[in-house]
């Protein structure tokens, strides 16, 4: 059973895999990513593949963009020395966010057997359009928090944290735009975002559908807003589907509403912790929720050129005040194609 970090780059990850592989077969190796053990992530698969409603719409013709956010309101929490060698891209994007992207974008597997699911996730990682050179500068934003306030309490900047050099250029925030070179998803941007000392602790997947082709309700209250599916992973787990409905009264006036599935309310049984679920899967010998060696390598193959481009550019991360949603450039990244982060729209 292996816990991240699984390497610092592709070369070190490959070295780890080779040493483990010299002793154990791949069917004996469990690489834990605790986000895959969260109830909502598994319910995303149930939502997609257990219902006829969503799967026919789960494609480029009906979806305008996808957002995946994992935000933390805390700082480095005494792990300054480790974090400064790692940064947000390695710590969160290479594993957690890319794994969530795989679950959202994967094709229906032929079964729920471990390799059937992991084969489809691998196809997603291999379909990621590479980001290199100037494309990295155009499609990524890296930031570092400065002193500010979270929940009304003052907090220090990253460079004032214990164990952090005063001239550190390690990123504590990453936002990026990714695209998949596949029949289902070509042209649909996937926006990934993660950071420390942000406005709130939040992990969610937002699927924005395209707008209606013709507005029949001009001048009748709020104009039709595109439907939106929000899958919340933390702090509370649930699913919300945003749509338009008629307000009560004699006139045809529309307003946005949502259908809400709160897992704590809908399922009264005790929910196991993500790590608890994954360790129980280890004891059962179930590999479905664990990364395979080729998945790990494919994720690093996509991330390594981004790290290299950042090193070559020698730009400092963009500063942002603790307690905000990160650098303004993060909003501009989405604004280029008429999108906005959910809290801004």
Which residues are designated catalytic?
96
Q: What is the DSSP letter of 1?
A: -
DSSP string across 219-257: TSBSPPPPPEEEEEEESS-EEEEEEEEEPSSSS--EEEE
**CA 157 and chain centroid, separation:** 25
d(CA 322, CA 343): 17
Residue 262 pairs in a beta bridge with 238
Residue 178 pairs in a beta bridge with 190
Strands 190-195 and 63-71: parallel
**CA 42 and chain centroid, separation:** 15
d(CA 178, CA 166): 32
């Amino acid at each position: 059973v292996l816990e991240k970090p699984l390497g610092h780059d592709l070369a070190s990850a490959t070295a780890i895999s080779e040493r483990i592989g010299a002793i154990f077969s791949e069917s004996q190796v469990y690489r834990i990513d605790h986000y895959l053990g969260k109830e909502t992530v598994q319910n995303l698969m149930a939502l997609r593949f257990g219902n006829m409603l969503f799967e026919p719409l789960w494609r480029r013709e009906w979806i305008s963009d996808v957002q995946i956010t994992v935000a933390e309101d805390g700082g480095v929490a005494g792990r300054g020395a480790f974090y400064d060698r790692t940064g947000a891209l390695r710590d969160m994007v290479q594993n957690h966010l890319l794994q969530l992207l795989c679950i959202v974008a994967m094709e229906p597997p032929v079964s729920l057997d471990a390799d059937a699911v992991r084969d489809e996730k691998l196809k997603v990682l291999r379909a990621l359009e590479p980001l290199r050179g100037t494309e990295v500068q155009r499609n990524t934003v890296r930031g570092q928090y400065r002193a500010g306030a979270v929940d009304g309490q003052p907090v220090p900047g990253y460079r004032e944290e214990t164990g952090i050099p005063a001239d550190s250029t390690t990123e504590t925030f990453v936002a990026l735009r990714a695209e998949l070179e596949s029949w289902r998803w070509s042209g649909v941007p996937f926006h990934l975002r993660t950071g420390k000392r942000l406005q709130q602790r939040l992990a969610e997947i937002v699927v924005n559908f395209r707008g209606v082709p013709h507005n029949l309700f001009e001048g009748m209250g709020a104009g039709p807003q595109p439907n939106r599916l929000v899958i919340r992973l933390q702090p509370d787990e649930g699913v919300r589907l945003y749509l338009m409905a008629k307000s009560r009264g004699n006139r045809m006036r529309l307003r946005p509403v949502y259908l809400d599935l709160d897992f704590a309310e809908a399922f009264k049984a005790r929910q196991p912790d993500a790590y608890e679920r994954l360790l129980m899967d280890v004891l059962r010998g179930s590999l479905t929720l664990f990364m395979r060696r080729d998945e790990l390598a494919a994720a690093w193959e996509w991330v390594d050129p981004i790290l290299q481009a950042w090193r070559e550019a020698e730009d400092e991360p963009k500063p942002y005040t603790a307690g905000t949603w990160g650098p303004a450039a993060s909003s501009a990244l989405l604004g280029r194609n008429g999108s906005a982060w959910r809290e801004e729209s």
